[in-house]
Structure 1
Amino acid sequence: MPRSRSRSPPPRPSNSTSNSYRSNRSPPRGGGDRDRGYTAADREREAAGNRRKYDERSDRDRRGGGGESGSGRRDAREGGPVMKEPSPPPAAKEAAKPNFGLSGALAAETNTNAAGVTLKYNEPPEARKPSLNWRLYVFKGKDQVDIFHIHRQSAYLAGRDAATVDIPIAHPSCSKQHAVIQFRLIRHRNEFGDESVAVKPFIIDLDSTNGTFVNDKEIPASRYYELKASDVLKFGQSTREYVLLHEEAA
């Protein structure tokens, strides 16, 4: 039978070899500081550095004005939150324009006569003095009792207040300021485009209690009603008739 061969164990490394192997191993990464651990002093130093960086960045933002080159863009580059630009304020509502028109009280003060009585009527811009000599003949029954020449001014106020009106009406059914005869400049254009102007008489009832009548027909209140030669006017329940004529009327 063949003889078995005995295997001898491998030689053990000498102490010198083991020591050289341990000495040739490189130290772990991070150095000896990390081996010692992260101490409270390290945390304090890191916190102080972070505060210093924050203060420096805040100073730069204040100096830069905070626009596109300010904090919004810088925070985005450094990884911080993107600061949105503030939205413009809502447009202010247009302020109400001042009203320089006359108030009721002021208008009343500027429309008074010499006796301090407030007049109910203002003449329109087209008011004009007539070129014809208009007259108002007053009849009581068949008798003429008075005459008014109404061509010397552009408007004549009729009513019961004798101290205020131009044409006094004594009847108790009439209002103190009853009606106005107003001469107005009227423009007329014919079918061929030719324009003509004329000063014509109108009457307007001032919201009287018992109305104004032209040729026995009551006229609307607060509206101009054109008059013609030979028209007959009545005021309230008075029986007196006021006949309108001018010098050229037949």
Structure 2
Amino acid sequence: MGLERVTRCLGTNSRGDEHRNDDDDSVARMKAAAEALELKEKEKPSFELSGKLAAETNRFRGITLLFNEPPEARKPDVRWRLYVFKGGEVLNEPLYIHRQSCYLFGRERRVADIPTDHPSCSKQHAVIQYRQVEKEKPDGTLSRQVRPYLMDLGSTNKTYLNEDPVEPQRYYELFEKDTIKFGNSSREYVLLHENSTG
């Protein structure tokens, strides 16, 4: 029942005279109820993104992550590996980085996939993200490939790709034999895959 209809029905008696004062309270209550009903009809639920849900889902082990995987994130079909060198010596077994779509590097061991313990490294320093992208073949046709990309997460002491500092929050495509360094650490991470030749 709309507000006008309620007031028409309750505002006057059959002779058109005003109701007595004791009826005025019930009329006011009915008007208020009608107004509340109209307001309720006007208010529709909002399904817009507030950002609060994203903030909650971007937490892992109680830590807010500085990075969200993009929609084009994919697990690689090539078995990529990182070989870790210090002073020209291989430090340990290669790091196999083909089992998930993203690898986080940093000092915060609760969230880092690959810890970088050097004091010049940030808690969440950088990521290697695999992304599905379109690449042009030599014959001019396009094909979809899953490629590795490096992104610095705004680290204090930078990330280096082949000795050059990378800009933060920007993807850099990685290629076989690329060398990555984090902060002032002397460790070098060399990217190879299972079919790489010396």
TM-score of the two chains, using structure 2 as the length reference? 0.72
Letter in structure 2 aligned against 1:129: K
Give the number of equivalent residue pairs: 156
1:17-66 deviation per Cα after TM superposition (whole angstroms, max 9, x unaligned): xxxxxxxxxxxxxxxxxxxxxxxxxxxxxxxxxxxxxxxxxxxxxxxxxx
Q: Which residue of 2 aligns with 1:38?
A: none
Q: Which residue of 2 aligns with 1:195?
A: 142
Q: How does 1:230-245 map to 2 (within 5 A)?
A: 230-245=177-192
2:87 is the alignment partner of 1:141: yes
Q: Which residue of 1 aligns with 2:129?
A: 182
The separation in 1 between residues aligned to 2:97 and 2:181, in whole angstroms, is: 17
The separation in 1 between residues aligned to 2:143 and 2:95, in whole angstroms, is: 29
The separation in 2 between residues aligned to 1:159 and 1:116, in whole angstroms, is: 16
The separation in 2 between residues aligned to 1:191 and 1:229, in whole angstroms, is: 19
* Structure 2 unmatched ranges of 5 or more: 1-42
Name the larger-Rg structure.
1
Q: How does 1:220-235 map to 2 (within 5 A)?
A: 220-235=167-182
Q: Identify the structure with bigger relative contact order (alpha carbons < 8 Å, sequence gap 6+).
A: 2
The separation in 1 between residues aligned to 2:163 and 2:91, in whole angstroms, is: 20
* Structure 1 unmatched ranges of 5 or more: 1-94
RMSD of the alignment, in Å?
Answer: 2.3
Structure with a larger share of its residues in strand: 2
Q: Which residue of 2 aligns with 1:171?
A: 118
Alignment equivalent of 2:97, drawn from 144, 147, 150? 150
Question: What's the % identity of the aligned pairs?
Answer: 52
TM-score of the two chains, using structure 1 as the length reference? 0.58
The separation in 1 between residues aligned to 2:89 and 2:140, in whole angstroms, is: 47
Letter in structure 2 aligned against 1:107: A
Structure 1 residue 197 displacement after superposition = 1.3
Structure 1 residue 192 displacement after superposition = 6.5
1:151-189 deviation per Cα after TM superposition (whole angstroms, max 9, x unaligned): 000000000111210010011111000000001111124
Letter in structure 2 aligned against 1:167: I
